[in-house]
A and B are shown apart, each in its own frame.
Chain A
């Protein structure tokens, strides 16, 4: 396999890792106003992601950095095209990040309420907008031969984009509810487990709708039709989604979470496999599309970065998994920091 192809799939993998790890934080944050009835519930929810969210978020920085390093032209055109959407995401992430630290600093209901709202918006908006952005990439973006974007923020909010956004929100809510159930005990645990189970059929409907809609709205299936064995990606994703429900019914939350993580990875790869070799297809003319081959870095940079990734991504995974293990027990009152 050539370097560009390898990097294309590494690129997809890094985004998938971001959605798997920070995805449950987004999900918990989105469920926060609905599940956090009492102050102690809210604190349990924040502390369930407390030690981990910061490290999770770095997968975004890594995915962004690797996009820059491996496909600089794509990085330049994508982020300038999606200017307003990306800025909204970044502001939301800023607000989410400080909320955890700020909320417990002043003991007043008004102050806490302010940061409660910020936690919700800072989690819900990125979940929705990442979904919208990726669905639009699957569909094609109006860019001309100079990589100049012909549209606005609202161009992205088309029906297919919105279904993509909804899919991400649902995936993350289920993912987050499972993590919360895994980390907590008592009332909040029961509520989280119930929520995951209740949201699951909705997720199933949205996921199937997205798969069907993609047939009509995108060219993703062209690769699948050309090579039928690729359908295994979709099959695995659907099986993982079914397994999630199965493990939920058994109360095996760790396994349910892993199945949900596989579902998210599958959803990303459903698109990535369908896109190849396009990174940023143009909806104006296929000639203007940015691909793994016309937008990549030089072979030397790709080689160096591949060595860097092959060394450091496993190392990061090792100490991140270690951190997850350190905090895999149920949260107790005396270890709540927020």
Chain B
């Protein structure tokens, strides 16, 4: 295998692995900060215990997220040096701003939060967590601005054999970036909400720490309901922006081969990249795609055949990942809506609670599918319409890349196992202090009364 392909596998696997941990950091930091603020405001000890319990899970997740993020910034240099030299004038500055203006904030203050329980006032300590949440979300904004630029390059000119910045604000404030952030952030908050609800459901089913986990579940539920709706709405806007800026990606998402007016959506389609058609098409909804992306049933949407064969993304993967993501997104809305009606009878809704435990991994899956659509759907371009992935790799020996790839797979697999095992172990154990004081049965009686 050549160094370019190995580098692609390495970057894809390390980024996707990193993004198993990022969304929970983005969302749970806000929830933990909210819990701690509730404690400061009301003096209710349950909120303090919630802060500590969910905070502990947050920290394990945070640790794995941080260490796996470091390698990403450097891989642009090690593995994608031609890309870095070509677009560094724009892309590099966005990464540098992320580190200086955002990543520092979360990293310095997380240490203060962990060790500062007795050193700071209650109020200041809670504020620290809010700043961690702010820092990590701000960090996501800059990274997503950088990614948006790869999808939709703006504000540059080609000069002296590379892309040079001419308009900074059009890079930072382009619609593509804003929509991308809102979509990614709301999906991350949905994931965090399902994480909290699922673990709470596990304990509610066992009638342990009922008050604690009822409060936790409801906190997650409110959060989850708002953001599972938002991720869907923003996702719709995202589709419009993609249609405008990345017609090949949109056509691949919907497996649309021919340019047509009143373009349809298929509930199921099996695209064949070679034959340039769908071998199976089920559930044709005429005009639906035109309506979604142009708000006009008869509008024209470009099909894949409008573009040269070597400028089309892998259609099967892109379209399946897209349909999977949308299906899951719909399910999240249904699950949180149902939960909203059952919010005062959680203990009796055993079937729903069981379902919510099994739902924990689903937002993880949906987010990974979303990134597959974003990144595979952009191929063969590394910067859409400007630079091809095949022209972007470093002139390094493939043996070097193979070695690092194998090392990444080994180390990350162990890290993943250790990280998730610890999260599951601590999640199952529940908040330790209370369990020792009150037996489960008493707790259940309290809740019934």
Considering the complex, give the chain B residue whose CB is closest to the CB of A97.
B67
A193 vs B254: C-alpha distance when bound (angstroms): 68
Set of chain A residues within 8 Å of B419, measured between Cβ atoms: 98
Counting chain A residues whose Cβ lies within 8 A of the other chain, the interface size class is 35 or more
B104-A55 in contact (CB<8A): yes
B111-A55 in contact (CB<8A): yes
A313-B100 in contact (CB<8A): yes
Expressed in whole angstroms, the minimum distance between the Cβ of A234 and any Cβ of chain B is: 30
Expressed in whole angstroms, the minimum distance between the Cβ of B405 and any Cβ of chain A is: 10
A293 vs B107: C-alpha distance when bound (angstroms): 33
A50 vs B110: C-alpha distance when bound (angstroms): 11
Set of chain A residues within 8 Å of B107, measured between Cβ atoms: 54-55, 57-58
Set of chain A residues within 8 Å of B60, measured between Cβ atoms: 101, 105
Of B37-45, B297-305, B393-401, the stretch lying at the interface with chain A is B393-401
A97-B63, A301-B165 known; A316+B100 contact, CB < 8 A: yes
A220 vs B79: C-alpha distance when bound (angstroms): 30
B403-A75 in contact (CB<8A): no
Q: Which residues 79-131 of B have a CB within 8 angstroms of A? A: 79, 81-82, 84-85, 87-93, 95-101, 103-105, 107-112, 114-120
A304 vs B166: C-alpha distance when bound (angstroms): 11
Residue among B78, B92, B396, B400 making CB contact with A65, cutoff 8 Å: B92
Considering the complex, give the chain A residue whose CB is closest to the CB of B117.
A335
A98-B400 in contact (CB<8A): no
Considering the complex, give the chain B residue whose CB is closest to the CB of A63.
B99
Of A80-88, A171-179, A181-189, the stretch lying at the interface with chain B is A80-88
A148 vs B400: C-alpha distance when bound (angstroms): 14
Expressed in whole angstroms, the minimum distance between the Cβ of A192 and any Cβ of chain B is: 20
A72 vs B83: C-alpha distance when bound (angstroms): 10
A249 vs B62: C-alpha distance when bound (angstroms): 41
Q: Which residues 284-314 of A have a CB within 8 angstroms of B? A: 297-298, 300-301, 304-305, 308-309, 312-313
A79 within 8 Å of B (CB atoms): yes
A80 vs B59: C-alpha distance when bound (angstroms): 33
A80 vs B77: C-alpha distance when bound (angstroms): 6
Residue among A50, A80, A320 making CB contact with B114, cutoff 8 Å: A50
B358 within 8 Å of A (CB atoms): no
Set of chain B residues within 8 Å of A58, measured between Cβ atoms: 99, 103-104, 107-108
A94-B73 in contact (CB<8A): no
Set of chain A residues within 8 Å of B115, measured between Cβ atoms: 47, 50-51, 327, 335, 337
Expressed in whole angstroms, the minimum distance between the Cβ of A95 and any Cβ of chain B is: 8
B415-A94 in contact (CB<8A): yes
B-side interface residues, number (CB < 8 Å): 68
A69-B92, A83-B394, A101-B60 known; A76+B82 contact, CB < 8 A: yes
Set of chain A residues within 8 Å of B71, measured between Cβ atoms: 90, 94
A90-B71, A94-B70, A101-B60 known; A72+B78 contact, CB < 8 A: no
A62-B96 in contact (CB<8A): yes
A52 within 8 Å of B (CB atoms): yes
Considering the complex, give the chain B residue whose CB is closest to the CB of A53.
B111
A75-B88, A77-B81 known; A86+B74 contact, CB < 8 A: yes
A83-B100 in contact (CB<8A): no
Set of chain A residues within 8 Å of B90, measured between Cβ atoms: 301
A53 vs B115: C-alpha distance when bound (angstroms): 12
B422 within 8 Å of A (CB atoms): yes
Residue among A72, A76, A98 making CB contact with B64, cutoff 8 Å: A98
A240 within 8 Å of B (CB atoms): no
A73 within 8 Å of B (CB atoms): yes
B404 within 8 Å of A (CB atoms): yes
A297-B77 in contact (CB<8A): no
Set of chain A residues within 8 Å of B118, measured between Cβ atoms: 334-335
Expressed in whole angstroms, the minimum distance between the Cβ of B117 and any Cβ of chain A is: 8
A51-B112, A101-B63, A326-B120 known; A75+B84 contact, CB < 8 A: yes
B103-A61 in contact (CB<8A): yes
A69-B88, A101-B59 known; A80+B396 contact, CB < 8 A: yes
A247 within 8 Å of B (CB atoms): no
A65-B98 in contact (CB<8A): yes
Chain B interface, DSSP helix/strand/loop, else mixed? helix
Set of chain B residues within 8 Å of A16, measured between Cβ atoms: none
A180 within 8 Å of B (CB atoms): no
Expressed in whole angstroms, the minimum distance between the Cβ of B134 and any Cβ of chain A is: 13
B395-A146 in contact (CB<8A): yes
Set of chain A residues within 8 Å of B78, measured between Cβ atoms: 79-80, 83, 86-87
Expressed in whole angstroms, the minimum distance between the Cβ of A156 and any Cβ of chain B is: 13
A312 vs B100: C-alpha distance when bound (angstroms): 6
A235 within 8 Å of B (CB atoms): no
B267 within 8 Å of A (CB atoms): no
Set of chain A residues within 8 Å of B70, measured between Cβ atoms: 57, 60-61, 90, 93-94, 97
Set of chain B residues within 8 Å of A274, measured between Cβ atoms: none
B276 within 8 Å of A (CB atoms): no
B165-A298 in contact (CB<8A): yes
A60 vs B73: C-alpha distance when bound (angstroms): 11
Set of chain A residues within 8 Å of B100, measured between Cβ atoms: 62, 65-66, 308-309, 312-313, 316
B67-A83 in contact (CB<8A): no
A91 within 8 Å of B (CB atoms): yes
B396-A69 in contact (CB<8A): no
A51-B112, A300-B168 known; A64+B63 contact, CB < 8 A: no
B418 within 8 Å of A (CB atoms): yes
A194 within 8 Å of B (CB atoms): no
A146 vs B116: C-alpha distance when bound (angstroms): 51
Considering the complex, give the chain A residue whose CB is closest to the CB of B412.
A94
B68 within 8 Å of A (CB atoms): yes
B407 within 8 Å of A (CB atoms): yes
A66-B96, A102-B418 known; A308+B88 contact, CB < 8 A: no
A319 within 8 Å of B (CB atoms): yes
Set of chain A residues within 8 Å of B415, measured between Cβ atoms: 94, 98
Considering the complex, give the chain B residue whose CB is closest to the CB of A54.
B107
A61-B99 in contact (CB<8A): yes
Set of chain A residues within 8 Å of B394, measured between Cβ atoms: 76, 80, 83
A68 within 8 Å of B (CB atoms): yes
Expressed in whole angstroms, the minimum distance between the Cβ of B205 and any Cβ of chain A is: 26
In the A-B complex, the 4 residue pairs with the smallest Cβ-Cβ separation, listed nearest first, are A72-B88, A79-B77, A68-B92, A55-B108
- 29 A–B pairs (Cβ distance < 8 Å), ordered by A: A54-B107, A61-B99, A64-B73, A68-B91, A69-B96, A69-B97, A72-B84, A75-B76, A76-B88, A80-B81, A93-B67, A95-B411, A98-B415, A102-B418, A147-B85, A147-B395, A148-B395, A297-B93, A297-B164, A298-B164, A301-B164, A304-B93, A304-B165, A305-B96, A309-B100, A320-B108, A323-B111, A326-B116, A337-B115
Q: A65-B95, A308-B96 are in contact. List 14 more A-B contacts (CB 8 A).
A: A55-B104, A55-B108, A57-B107, A65-B92, A69-B97, A72-B162, A76-B85, A76-B88, A90-B74, A149-B396, A312-B104, A320-B108, A326-B119, A337-B115
